[in-house]
Amino acid sequence: MKAPYPYPIIAREGWPYLIGLTLLCVLVTQFLGLSFATPFFVVWLFVLQFFRDPPRELPSEPGIVSPADGRIVAVLPCQDPYLNCPAIKVSVFMNVFNVHSNRSPVNGVIEDIRYFPGSFVNADLDKASEANERNALVIVAENGQRLSCVQVAGLIARRILCYVKVGQRLTPGERYGFIRFGSRVDLYLPTTSVIKVAIGDRVWAGSTLLAKWGE
């Protein structure tokens, strides 16, 4: 089954950049020639791949899906700073070549949204979870369990976009936000969760099963 996908295959967040770069490429080519325009075409291709946003197939097993594309950089017991309770943190690091569209990990209702301004250290480092700019969703899943899903800005990321509101229902794999350029997403899961990934694994938003609900 496909995850809900109301957006084109190129994320709407990238349209202004692509339109501006297209005009620039045309003007440079017309007035200076193709050789001078080549670097601008390379930048255009980079921006195009960065803002791609393909539809995804949900996993066949029920559970908690990845909210982001990238690489697992943390799986560890910790204290959920948003629910103030013991949790298992699973962190996904997104480099500049990953899709940066963020998707809901579960079927549930948004209980709270908290935004924190901060710095922009390398998102690959664990201290980014507390030091960097971030936006946290507290979600009550359909089974009554609660979790936190946190967008964290990275070294060059300068814009966290979140399009949902408190009280809104999300379905697994539903697109809810975007982070421009390298960043990470942290999930704080109940301690009874059965983790299905390990550090270093590559995951895909809406398609990779990160964990299953425990008892």
Q: How far, CA to CA in Å, does 60 sit from each of 1, 18, 70, 151, 198?
A: 8, 35, 20, 26, 20
Q: Are residues 76 and 125 in the same domain?
A: yes
Please report the pLDDT score of residue 20 as a whole number: 94
Q: Are residues 41 and 104 in the same domain?
A: no
Q: Are residues 43 and 111 in the same domain?
A: no
* Structural domain count, the chain: 2
Region label for 144, one of left (φ > 0), alpha (ψ between -120 and 50) or beta (otherwise): left
- What sections of the chain are H helices per DSSP? 15-32, 34-50, 128-131
Closest alpha carbon to 137 in 95, 108, 158, 100? 108
Please report the pLDDT score of residue 171 as a whole number: 92
CATH number, position 140: 2.70.70.10
The answer as to whether 2 is a domain residue is no
Is 183 marked active-site? yes
Q: Are residues 168 and 89 in the same domain?
A: yes
Please report the pLDDT score of residue 53 as a whole number: 87
Closest alpha carbon to 11 in 103, 104, 132? 103
Domain span at residue 35 reads 12-50
**Of 66, 104, 148, 183, which one is the catalytic site residue?**
183
The answer to whether 154 touches 181, Cβ cutoff 8 Å, is yes
Those residues whose C-beta lies under 8 Å from the C-beta of residue 84, and which sit 6 or more positions away, are: none
Residue by residue, pLDDT tens for the chain (215 residues) are: 555 555 568 888 878 888 999 999 999 998 888 888 899 999 999 888 888 888 888 898 889 999 999 999 999 999 999 999 999 999 999 888 888 889 999 999 999 999 988 665 555 556 555 667 889 999 999 999 999 999 988 665 557 889 999 999 999 999 999 887 668 899 999 999 999 999 999 999 999 999 999 87
Q: Are residues 37 and 73 in the same domain?
A: no
Phi and psi at residue 170, in whole multiples of 5°? Answer: -115, 150
Q: Counting every residue, how long is the chain?
A: 215
Q: Are residues 19 and 91 in the same domain?
A: no
Q: Are residues 171 and 102 in the same domain?
A: yes
